[in-house]
């Protein structure tokens, strides 16, 4: 069994991860990084996230992020013997994570009601696109579909008014975070009351919750077209880009002083947020004109001197080398075959030293099949026979 060291909150917790993709696997990875022994079950061909975008030897960047710290067992769940093994693993689990479409897990004989009858302390998490029932329940819920349906693409319209997908997996990641929080609460309740439960988390609900403030704003003030803050946006400098906002009178004054617009401090067009919202175009145009006259570094020095709210626009490499990110140890120098050392973000709230010590590399397909089945009580000859029959990949 993988050793996670002392002091981690989920040490000793047994998690059976039947999910694929990102939302379920990343949720289970968060448990693994907090000490849980997570056994990931995948088909012999591997979780489909292993081939998202670029990959080497069945390990894409997303597969690493979503599976670091786990053990992998590969089996063909269409075979009765494989389903028997899954049932045995589920009987021993504290937590089960699955993201099959509604009805599929029941056909496999792994419904919550079936497992809870034998293991009443089981906390069972079902992640779906749209919930367990309803007119859209049986549709697949992908990242791009949820971004379109929940207003994310609409909110990300360009200057041409065309809705655009945010170019990262926001719905899946948000769902994983909400699901991990729900699991933590359910495990706490289990310690108090002695019983597990069936949690249901959908990408639809997670996106709605994640966007709660924006959705409520649109419901309360449907005709309002005022800027959230003024100035606000990403502005071009002479050699790059810089984001600049002012959330109150004091931060607006800081921006004016840094940009040499002190005369505006007493201008009635800009003395209150309401006035600035009415004159947002004039403010943003002048801010854009001034910022374009000098470099990002020079403007950053002036804005920092006045404690304005700003930041240079960095790419991912720039973030990794940003002095504050380096100082805070945001990224682990993580050993991940076949790549060598990779910059894996550590789990917030846990020290870099703890993370480096306790997180194992993301596994290859079926890397721990033999190990897990030996722990389950099978012997070497039985495992060899299962492999020869194509039931497992070991």
pLDDT at 356: 86
Q: Tell me the CA distances in angstroms from 169 to 114, 142, 213, one per residue in order.
A: 33, 9, 20
φ, ψ for residue 139 (rounded to 5)?
-80, 150
Estimate to the nearest angstrom the gap between the alpha carbon of 247 and the chain centroid: 28
Strands 55-56 and 37-42: what pairing? unpaired
Measured distance CA(299)–CA(321) in Å, rounded? 20
Q: 384, 391 in Cβ contact below 8 A? A: no
Tens of pLDDT, residue by residue, the chain (394 residues): 344 445 899 999 999 999 999 999 999 999 999 999 999 999 999 999 999 999 999 999 999 999 999 999 999 999 999 999 999 999 999 999 999 999 999 999 999 999 999 999 999 999 999 999 999 999 988 999 999 999 999 999 988 999 999 999 999 999 999 999 999 999 999 999 999 999 999 999 999 999 999 999 999 999 877 778 899 889 999 999 999 999 999 999 999 999 999 999 999 999 999 999 999 999 999 999 999 999 999 999 999 999 999 999 999 999 999 999 999 999 999 999 999 999 999 999 998 888 888 899 999 999 999 999 999 999 999 999 999 999 999 8
pLDDT at 6: 54
pLDDT at 353: 87
Burial class (CB in 10 A: 0-12, 13-18, 19+), 11: middle
Measured distance CA(12)–CA(8) in Å, rounded? 9
pTM of the full structure: 0.92
Measured distance CA(225)–CA(251) in Å, rounded? 22
Strands 123-128 and 95-98: what pairing? parallel
For residue 155, what are its two tokens?
Answer: 């909110």
Residues in CB range of 18: below 8 A, 6 or more apart: 24, 41, 86, 96, 97, 98, 99, 100, 105, 110
Measured distance CA(47)–CA(41) in Å, rounded? 9
Task: Single out the residue of 286, 127, 113 nearest to residue 207, CA to CA.
Answer: 127
Which tens digits make up the pLDDT trace of 177-202? 999 999 999 999 999 999 999 999 99
**Which residues are registered as beta bridge partners of 14?**
37
pLDDT at 3: 41
pLDDT at 5: 45
Which tens digits make up the pLDDT trace of 21-44? 999 999 999 999 999 999 999 999
Long-range Cβ contact pairs of 189-196 (< 8 A, separation 24 or more): 190/121, 190/123, 194/121, 195/120, 195/121, 196/116, 196/119, 196/120, 196/121, 196/122, 196/123, 196/124
Distance between start and end Cα atoms, the chain: 17
Domains and CATH numbers, the chain: 14-212+361-393 (3.40.50.10540), 232-314 (3.30.1540.10)
Beta strands in the chain (DSSP E): 14-17, 37-42, 55-56, 59-60, 71-75, 95-98, 123-128, 197-202, 232-236, 241-245, 309-312, 331-336, 340-345, 392-393
DSSP calls for 79-128: SHHHHHHHHHHHHH-SEEEE-PPTTHHHHTT--HHHHHHH-TT-EEEEEE
For residue 21, what are its two tokens?
Answer: 């993709």
pLDDT at 352: 87
Which DSSP letter does residue 233 get? E
pLDDT at 2: 43
pLDDT at 281: 93
């Amino acid at each position: 069994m993988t050793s996670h060291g002392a002091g981690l909150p989920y040490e000793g917790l047994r998690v059976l991860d039947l999910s694929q993709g990102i939302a379920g696997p990343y949720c289970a990875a968060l448990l693994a990084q907090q000490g849980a022994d997570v056994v990931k079950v995948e088909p012999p061909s591997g979780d489909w996230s292993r081939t998202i975008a670029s990959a080497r030897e069945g390990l894409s960047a997303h597969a690493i992020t979503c599976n670091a710290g786990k053990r992998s067992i590969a089996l063909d769940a269409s075979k009765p013997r494989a389903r028997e093994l899954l049932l045995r693993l589920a009987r021993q689990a504290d937590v089960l994570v699955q993201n099959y479409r509604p009805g599929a897990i029941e056909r496999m004989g792994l419904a919550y009601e079936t497992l809870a009858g034998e293991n009443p302390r089981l906390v069972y998490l079902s992640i779906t696109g749209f919930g367990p029932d309803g007119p859209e329940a049986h549709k697949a819920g992908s990242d791009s579909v949820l971004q379109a349906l929940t207003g994310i693409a609409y909110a990300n319209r360009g200057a041409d008014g065309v809705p655009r997908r945010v170019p990262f997996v926001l719905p899946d990641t948000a769902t994983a975070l909400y699901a991990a929080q729900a699991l933590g609460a359910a495990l706490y309740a289990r310690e108090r009351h002695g019983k597990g439960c069936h949690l249901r988390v959908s990408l639809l609900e997670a996106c709605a919750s994640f966007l709660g403030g924006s959705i409520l704003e649109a419901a309360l003030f449907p005709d309002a077209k005022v800027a959230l803050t003024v100035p606000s946006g990403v502005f071009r400098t002479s050699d790059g880009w810089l984001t600049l906002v002012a959330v109150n009178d004091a931060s607006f004054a800081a921006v004016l002083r840094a940009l040499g617009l002190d005369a505006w401090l007493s201008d009635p067009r800009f003395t209150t947020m309401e006035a600035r919202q009415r004159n947002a175009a004039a403010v943003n145009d002048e801010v854009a004109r001034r910022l374009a006259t000098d470099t990002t570094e020079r403007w950053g020095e002036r804005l920092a001197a006045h404690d304005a709210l700003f930041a240079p626009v960095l790419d991912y490499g720039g973030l990794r080398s940003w002095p504050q990110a380096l100082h805070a140890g945001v990224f682990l120098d993580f050993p991940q075959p076949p790549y060598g050392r990779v910059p894996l973000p550590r789990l917030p709230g846990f020290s870099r030293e703890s993370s480096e010590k306790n997180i194992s590399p993301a596994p290859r397909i079926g890397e721990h099949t033999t190990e897990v089945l030996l722990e389950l009580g099978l012997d070497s000859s039985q495992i060899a026979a299962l492999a020869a029959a194509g039931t497992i990949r070991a």
